Structure 1
Amino acid sequence: MDFNEVRPGHLKSSEKTIKIHISELKIGMFVSKLDRPWLETPFLMQGFTIECLEDIDAVAEYSEYVWIDAVAEEWIPPEARASLKTPSKKISYINKVDAKAEHARAMDTYREARRLTRTLLDDLRLGGVVNTEQAKTTVKDCVNSILRNADALIWMSKIRSQDEYTAEHCLNVCILAIAFGRHLGMGEADLERLGLCGLLHDVGKMRVQSDVLNKPGSLDEKEMNIMRAHTVHGRNMLMASPGIPNSTIDVAYSHHEKMDGTGYPRGLKSSGISELAKIIAIVDAYDAMTADRCYSPSMPSTEALKIIFKDRGTHFDDRLALEFIKSVGLYPPGTLVELVNGLVAIVFETHSKYRHLPKVFAVRKQNARLEKNVAIDLSAIEAGRLDKSFLIKRALNDGSFGVFIKDYRELGLVLN
């Protein structure tokens, strides 16, 4: 059987790995291994499906031989096929300005959006309703910034304060969801709809008692049930607020549902969960994992993406999880990294072609602070203008080597 042919109602599953020359690579094949270390390529992980001719060209730039998975057919039930639908035509966006030019505007946007988000949640905590127009204005400002250049506002979303976790988490999910929606090719109106879902997805936590919400240790069964009730509270609060779209109410109610039906509050399976809820579920989990929480320290972006990859198809929608990993990249803006040569740097702007070689600004040489923050475009490695000692060795947790992203945001980003 030709392993690129799949009958209706069947899904391809891996059987064995075959080494082939890149000239034999075809659309639909799953590349499981390259003939060079994957960290020296722009591919996010060692394992991806060839979806178009451009993917073949990209592989050919880095490898002569690849290993592909030969596959057999596996029947899947109709209710699980909903996530396999072909996405509608995408809108292609280009950055209107570079990240440095957008930085000052993004900082103003983020500060105002954070202030409005705090006010919005405080009003709900005191028994009020959502100021819908205020929420929509906040989202629209974020959409405008991300359409100009997503990297600048994503950099701002790395700023954390554990004392204000819920407010900052809501805003960050809004920002990251809009950026993901841009990657998916959504139109501007859909981006605003998605952003509002992100901003308001956790409003129900304003009805959860603080000793449970902020408990530093594990929750017992009773406390877990109280926490899980935030989805029901969120639905009810948004239903009582005038002008809130039904899609936003649904996401607040459904963003903890899982593809395999083990989520809450209703135990829905994939076919019963909306596309927007599936998106917010991924973004919500990613932002939570990369933040310091009262019961769990943050983890590097790369580790969070590995968990999302592992849980795709069971916890998260398979297609959207893979797209999210592509969207975020190995080193998103605001990521603290250590280079092979010992420099400690903060990622400032991603590179569309070389995702593993972003623009960074170096701030330390391990334990010694540099006199000046030095901007480095790591894509120069591919052009031979930088040696390979400038490759990224690993992503670090915020605070490693005494470098805190928040300090650089508050001092203002200075590049020399």
Structure 2
Amino acid sequence: MSSEIHSGHFVSNTETKKLHISELQIGMWVSKLDRDWLETPFLMQGFLVESMEDIETLAEFCEHVWVDVREEQWVDNFSNKTLKNAPKRQRYINKIPVREENQKVFGVYREARRITKSLLDEARLSSVINTEQAKGLVNECVDSILRNADALMWMSKIRSQDEYTAEHCLNVCILAIAFARQLGYAENELHDIGMCGLLHDVGKMKVPLEILNKPGRLTDEELKIMQRHTTYGRNLLMSAGSGAAQAVDVAWSHHERMDGKGYPRGLTDSKIGRYARIIAIVDAFDAMTAHRVYKPAFPATKALKIIFHERGTHYDKELTEVFLKTVGLYPPGSVVELVNGEIGLVVETNQRYRQLPKVIILRDANKVPVKEKIIDLALIEQGKLDKCFLIKDTHADGAFNVSVREYQEKGLMFRSR
């Protein structure tokens, strides 16, 4: 089976345009006003229009604004020329606040876990993959991520070591969709990439359980058997028919490396499809940040450092850099320790100041549980919050007895400080 290779990168050009306030739309970046910023209630000199309320407030003070318009085109790595007919990237904004999406997403994630486990159990027992059921699951994930990417990404932190493979497949699906959203892929491509993520490890259902769940180091022979999951996955998906066409190549190729030292075929960068490159990064990140029977979880920041260090050799260089922007310095669900010693969970990323997310405080400086409260660290940039609230370090899920699963299942009280 042949697959189209997408090897290249986006180039962007930014132009500033003057617009009448009536032409302003949600999603535009306002960089200049027709009056001094100090004469308006806007604290930041340049901001993203996220709601009609923003437009209405601007209309009270301005007649014209200047917006930054960015156009991006795909450049082929081989010819180093812009492809005239290449599609432009989509630009997405969160449609609803993360707290509102949180109210919907717990049931979505719980049902998605159940369906994923059912899909994999069916593949193990009968070598059959229900691609229509998989598509329905992916549709739910795409819808949630288009509403607000943070909520479902946070849910992907909720893990059970006993259900690693199923939860890993679902988490890779979620992260891959969020990654593709950041890359600006069209909505139909978000669905395709979500399917690739969900089914990338389906071949592990044909690996003997004593090897798949072995708590110690695999022998050379056992490692060879484990690595065959890529070929097993390809064969399973080939038999599933056209409903999982793109997923076939990803299942087969997501362990290939840019330097040709991957498996099963030792492909070099120009021969590895773009979807496989995307899933390779997401797969590694989720695996590193999960507790396994043979190793503890890495904090997200450590996993990101490893992936960044191996960009260009193991992982696609440009995609790696975009992935770091997707998950942020402190992804939702990260256990963080502040300079003042307090412990919290990241509940929402900050697109403008990635080092300053929203954090829900759960432990005081003595690591004693306290009443939950949310702090927006972006207030530090505005001079409204002391720098002692900066993040000092990150820790793996479960550190200081802070478990994402526990706090999500009992319900978090979201309150601003």
TM over 0.5: yes
CA distance in 1, matches of 2:365, 2:168: 30
CA distance in 2, matches of 1:91, 1:303: 30
CA distance in 2, matches of 1:160, 1:338: 21
CA distance in 2, matches of 1:158, 1:82: 39
Q: Which residue in 1 is equivalent to 2:214? A: 215
CA distance in 2, matches of 1:271, 1:154: 30
Q: Which residue in 1 is equivalent to 2:105? A: 106
Q: Which residue in 1 is equivalent to 2:294? A: 295
Q: Give 1:85 shift.
A: 7.8
Cα distance change on mapping 1:85 and 1:354 into 2, 3 Å: farther
The 8 Å contact of residues 255 and 280 in structure 2, kept in 1 or not, is answered as: yes
Deviates further, 85-94 or 135-144: 85-94
Q: Give 1:143 shift.
A: 0.3
Aligned residues: 340
The 8 Å contact of residues 82 and 270 in structure 1, kept in 2 or not, is answered as: no
After TM superposition, the structure 1 = structure 2 runs for residues 203-352 of structure 1, keeping only pairs within 5 Å, are 203-352=202-351
Deviates further, 109-118 or 197-206: 109-118
Cα distance change on mapping 1:254 and 1:210 into 2, 3 Å: same
Q: Which residue in 1 is equivalent to 2:158? A: 159
Cα distance change on mapping 1:217 and 1:259 into 2, 3 Å: same
**2:93 aligned partner, one-letter code:** I
TM-superposition CA deviations, 1:181-200 (whole Å, max 9, x none): 00000011000000000000
TM-superposition CA deviations, 1:373-404 (whole Å, max 9, x none): 01111100111110000000011111111111
Q: Does 1:385 align with 2:384?
A: yes
TM-superposition CA deviations, 1:72-97 (whole Å, max 9, x none): xxxxxxxx945978685211101100
After TM superposition, the structure 1 = structure 2 runs for residues 350-369 of structure 1, keeping only pairs within 5 Å, are 350-369=349-368
- State the SS of the aligned residue for 1:96: coil
After TM superposition, the structure 1 = structure 2 runs for residues 46-85 of structure 1, keeping only pairs within 5 Å, are 81=77
Q: Which residue in 2 is equivalent to 1:373? A: 372
After TM superposition, the structure 1 = structure 2 runs for residues 94-173 of structure 1, keeping only pairs within 5 Å, are 94-173=93-172
Deviates further, 250-259 or 360-369: 360-369
Q: Give 1:368 shift.
A: 4.2
**2:224 aligned partner, one-letter code:** N
**1:296 aligned partner, one-letter code:** K
CA distance in 2, matches of 1:306, 1:403: 23
**2:188 aligned partner, one-letter code:** A
**2:157 aligned partner, one-letter code:** K
CA distance in 2, matches of 1:235, 1:297: 30
Structure 2: give runs of 5+ residues left out of the alignment: 1-12, 14-30, 32-44, 46-75
**2:176 aligned partner, one-letter code:** A
**2:368 aligned partner, one-letter code:** R
The 8 Å contact of residues 261 and 270 in structure 1, kept in 2 or not, is answered as: yes
Cα distance change on mapping 1:83 and 1:258 into 2, 3 Å: farther
TM-score (norm 2): 0.79
CA distance in 1, matches of 2:411, 2:126: 37
The 8 Å contact of residues 132 and 243 in structure 1, kept in 2 or not, is answered as: no
TM-superposition CA deviations, 1:201-237 (whole Å, max 9, x none): 0000000001111111111110000000000100111
Cα distance change on mapping 1:320 and 1:283 into 2, 3 Å: same
CA distance in 1, matches of 2:144, 2:334: 20
CA distance in 2, matches of 1:196, 1:185: 17
- State the SS of the aligned residue for 1:244: helix
Cα distance change on mapping 1:150 and 1:82 into 2, 3 Å: farther
CA distance in 2, matches of 1:127, 1:85: 48
Q: Which residue in 2 is equivalent to 1:46? A: none
The 8 Å contact of residues 131 and 244 in structure 2, kept in 1 or not, is answered as: no
CA distance in 2, matches of 1:268, 1:82: 17
Deviates further, 142-151 or 209-218: 209-218
The 8 Å contact of residues 211 and 222 in structure 2, kept in 1 or not, is answered as: yes
Q: Give 1:315 shift.
A: 0.5
- State the SS of the aligned residue for 1:216: coil
**1:341 aligned partner, one-letter code:** N
Q: Give 1:415 shift.
A: 2.0
Q: Give 1:240 shift.
A: 1.1
CA distance in 1, matches of 2:110, 2:184: 27
Q: Which residue in 2 is equivalent to 1:31? A: none
Q: Give 1:244 shift.
A: 2.6
**1:349 aligned partner, one-letter code:** E
Q: Give 1:406 shift.
A: 1.2
The 8 Å contact of residues 201 and 233 in structure 2, kept in 1 or not, is answered as: yes
Q: Identity rate of aligned residues, in percent?
A: 57
- State the SS of the aligned residue for 2:393: strand
**1:283 aligned partner, one-letter code:** V
CA distance in 1, matches of 2:112, 2:166: 10
Cα distance change on mapping 1:85 and 1:278 into 2, 3 Å: farther
The 8 Å contact of residues 360 and 374 in structure 2, kept in 1 or not, is answered as: yes
Q: Does 1:186 align with 2:185?
A: yes
Structure 1: give runs of 5+ residues left out of the alignment: 1-26, 28-53, 55-60, 62-79
CA distance in 2, matches of 1:304, 1:216: 21
CA distance in 2, matches of 1:197, 1:83: 28
Deviates further, 156-165 or 244-253: 244-253
The 8 Å contact of residues 342 and 366 in structure 2, kept in 1 or not, is answered as: no
Cα distance change on mapping 1:83 and 1:363 into 2, 3 Å: farther
CA distance in 1, matches of 2:289, 2:179: 16
